[in-house]
Amino acid sequence: MAAESNANLDALCQEAEQLTAIGDYEAAASLYEQILAIQPDFRTGYWHLGLMYLLQKQEEEAQFTWMLPFTELAPDSETEAQWTAELLTALQTAAQTQTDRQQFWQAWTIHQHIHQINPTNLNNLLRLLELDLEIRAFQIEDLDEYGLISQLQQQDNVPIDRLLMILEQMLERIPDHPVSLEFAVVCLPYLSDLETWIDRFLTIGQRLALKGDYAEACQYSELCLQLNPEHAHTLGTLSRFYQDSGQYEKGLELAERQFQLFEQLPEKILSAALLVRANLLMAGRWTAAEAALHQLTELLETWLAETEVPTNTLLSPLILCSPMFLYPYFSDYPQQARSLQNKIASSYTKNVKAFTKSYIKDCKFDEAGQFADRSKLRIGYLCHCFRRHSVGWLSRWIFEHFDRDRFEIYAYFVLEEELTAFGQRWFAENATQHRLCGADAFEIARTIQADGIDILVDLDSLTMDVTCNVMALKPAPIQVTWLGLDASGIPTIDYFIADPYVLPDHAQDYYTERVWRLPQTYLAVDGFEVGVPTLKRDSLNIPNDAIVYFSSQTGQKRNPDNIRQQLKIIRSVPNSYFLIKGLGSEAAKQNLFCQLAQEEGVSIDRLRFLANSPNEETHRANLSIADIVLDTFPYNGATTTMEALWMGISLVTRVGEQFAARNSYTMMINAGITKGIAWTDQEYVEWGIRLGSNPILRQEITWQLQQSRQTAPLWNAKQFTRQLEKAYMQMWEHLINNKSRG
């Protein structure tokens, strides 16, 4: 009878296992209940019955069933330890079976219960974390609940392969989650192949920085310094992150360290450019910034003289972007600066062409053009700033007003993987088509070519290396630079959009691009959104009858000569105050202005330093506190100037030769205002004093600006869009005519 009973039990067990295998957990549970009714001391039956309950989401019944055999055991006995090990083995086997079947939720649930039974099982914890990531159930609280971080810090026998596999998954799926960074810190002692991990952390940091998450970007880069304190690329990347996040002193320190480490010319040039930028943002270090720029110039000239254009490696477009972005801040000699810029751009473009021809076989970019037979001209706009950014605020209107019967508009979002901000979605929805592009210039160029773009318009210019790379590849028959910054000098760019004022008449002498002058203005908007002001005179301890001067620019645009001229104006106008605002080291900025004020005989009590506004709408509203805006030179304001004019504020600008020194000039002319335009430093001071001393003149300018909203070219984006589209048509006709003659 005993043998027959055992045979029946074996048969029932086999049948239960078969039902479990096909996922019929309810029937399997019923069989295990029968088995335990026949043989109550069959421990394995309790383990399997509990599992069947658990897989049916009956967690309380599962736990109760597992605990039944333990009720008669003495606590902490050897038998209890043995039985617990048996139970854990059964659960682990079941979890692995569920994983193999890709039933990840069930596997995760089983591992959760293993953790409750044995919370110090590190392998189980790591597997639990893997499944968390697989089913997207992971929460930051889980690490605290699991106690994983403390266990990793305390245990010696760490399964390194599984640990690093989880780190890889976390960095891939949730790099911006704080817990990924916390987990990465714990994993540092177990990392090998440090160069690969440094590159991985820096890439994540750069991705976060592009989203504006500078704190996290800095933290990931700081991990790299822990792995290698003298890693030059890390020093440079982290220096930029520090600068962009307002940690200017740290940014300067790392820029200096990186400059000392590099020896090869291209890397030395980029580190010198970073050092110039770091010094500029530290107001008061103008002499050091000039010295760094002198070093940079010497390095660039040496590189051009000694270096043959390589064909087997691809130069970084940063060799063009980073250095040449800086020169307009220091001086107003465009002939010299652009001569150097054009030479660098030429060498860079030759390198791109040679490398592409030899190594990128699937890139067959044809400069002769595609000449698709379509009824509509296809315009592509390439930009990293289709969002709440100066370029975004100014370019949005051509998407609003473009002639949909004659043009198709394609928006190429550089370095974007998804559209998150409202501004981004606005551009996407108003374009004919939009493309989300990463950082691979070759892939972007392929996309542009596949889209059959007739005219590709670069809105970034020297502000974005990826865009420069794309433009050098020449994926469209006609290529144009507009709006973002001065022209890049890349030979594959055909035109630079300007107007009669923003460049002097002889500018074509030193531009490689053909300067295409629109008839009135090179940009226009229909207006700006304005929020609620947060600044009031009484809160700043400024009398209501005082004259308030205002300057809102980045630290890069401020230099001692221009500041002295501004302070001479303040000194000469009784009862006047100067409001100063902008990015850069706040402490260094205040020290510089206060020092120069004392030298110029201006009481520092007449200076007010303002924090940055939370958004552009508030900034514009706060402009109403000012009577006169004082522009910077040799690098004028651009969007800030337009915002001041829109708000009806008198403005003093100094006109120079270079593009950056003539933006305010063209904007004022196209708003119908000439009072406040100075052609010398002396005139700048005189206009500042005159406007501060003459309330009737200021009122007249305010009235003119208010009237200009209805009549001036600067505020007529629809008219501007028609003029820009006419230029596109003429460019295309010129190309077609040349094609037919050739």
Count Cβ atoms within 10 A of the Cβ of residue 259 and give its class: 0-12 exposed, 13-18 middle, 19 or more buried.
Answer: buried
Q: Are 115 and 123 in contact (CB under 8 A)?
A: no
Measured between alpha carbons, how far is 34 from 94 in angstroms, rounded to an integer? 21
Helix (H) or strand (E) holding 693: helix 681-693
The per-residue pLDDT for range 182-194, each reduced to its tens digit, is 889 988 988 989 9
Would you say the C-alpha torsion 388, 394, 399, 401 has a positive or negative sign?
A: positive
Instruction: Specify the CATH number of the domain 538-715.
Output: 3.40.50.2000
Strand 455-458 to strand 377-383: parallel, antiparallel, or no bridges (unpaired)?
A: parallel
* Concatenated DSSP letters of 479-497: EEE-SSSS----TT--EEE
Which pair of tokens denotes residue 658?
């270079």
Q: In whole numbers, what is the pLDDT of the chain averaged over residues?
A: 90
**Secondary structure of 68-102 as H, E, C letters:** HHHCCCCCCCHHHHHHHHHHHHHHHHHHHHHHHCC
The per-residue pLDDT for range 682-701, each reduced to its tens digit, is 999 999 999 999 999 999 99
Q: Does residue 545 register a pLDDT over 50?
A: yes
From its phi and psi, is residue 118 left (phi > 0), alpha (psi between -120 and 50) or beta? beta
Same fold, 1-118 and 377-517: no
CA 401 to chain centre: 28
What pLDDT does 369 receive? 46
The per-residue pLDDT for range 340-366, each reduced to its tens digit, is 999 999 999 999 988 888 777 666 655
Q: Are 692 and 569 in contact (CB under 8 A)?
A: yes
- The residues spanned by each domain of the chain are 1-118, 377-517, 538-715
Q: Does the predicted model carry a pTM greater than 0.75?
A: yes
Q: Are 565 and 685 in contact (CB under 8 A)?
A: yes
Fold of the 1-118 domain: 1.25.40
What pLDDT does 137 receive? 65
Among the ranges given (11-25, 403-417, 553-567), the one the predictor scored with the smallest mean pLDDT: 11-25
Compute how many other C-beta atoms are within 10 angstroms of the C-beta atom of residue 141. Answer: 9
Fold of the 377-517 domain: Rossmann fold (3.40.50)
Q: Does residue 627 register a pLDDT over 80?
A: yes
What pLDDT does 668 receive? 98
Mean pLDDT, residues 262-291? 93
Q: Are 375 and 381 in contact (CB under 8 A)?
A: no
Confidence at 368, pLDDT banded by 50, 70, 90: very low
Q: Are 579 and 550 in contact (CB under 8 A)?
A: yes
Residue 367: name the closest of 516, 441, 472, 459 by CA.
Answer: 472
Q: Are 659 and 503 in contact (CB under 8 A)?
A: yes
Beta-carbon contacts of 369 under 8 Å, excluding residues fewer than 6 positions away, are 476, 477, 478, 735, 739
Could you give the C-alpha distances from 95 to 68, 86, 127, 225, in angstroms and in order? 22, 14, 10, 40
Which residue type occupies 477? P
Residue 715: name the closest of 676, 684, 686, 673 by CA.
Answer: 673
Q: Which of 98-102, 153-157, 427-431, 450-454 has the highest mean pLDDT?
A: 450-454
The per-residue pLDDT for range 503-521, each reduced to its tens digit, is 999 999 999 999 999 999 9
Which residue type occupies 740? S
Q: Which residues pair with 498 in a beta bridge?
A: 517
Compute how many other C-beta atoms are within 10 angstroms of the C-beta atom of residue 614. Answer: 10
Confidence at 292, pLDDT banded by 50, 70, 90: very high
Q: Which residues pair with 408 in a beta bridge?
A: 378
What pLDDT does 129 receive? 80
What pLDDT does 703 receive? 97
Q: Does residue 306 register a pLDDT over 50?
A: yes
- Kindly report the backbone phi and psi dihedral angles of residue 224, in degrees, each rounded to the nearest multiple of 5, phi listed first: -65, -40
What pLDDT does 370 receive? 52
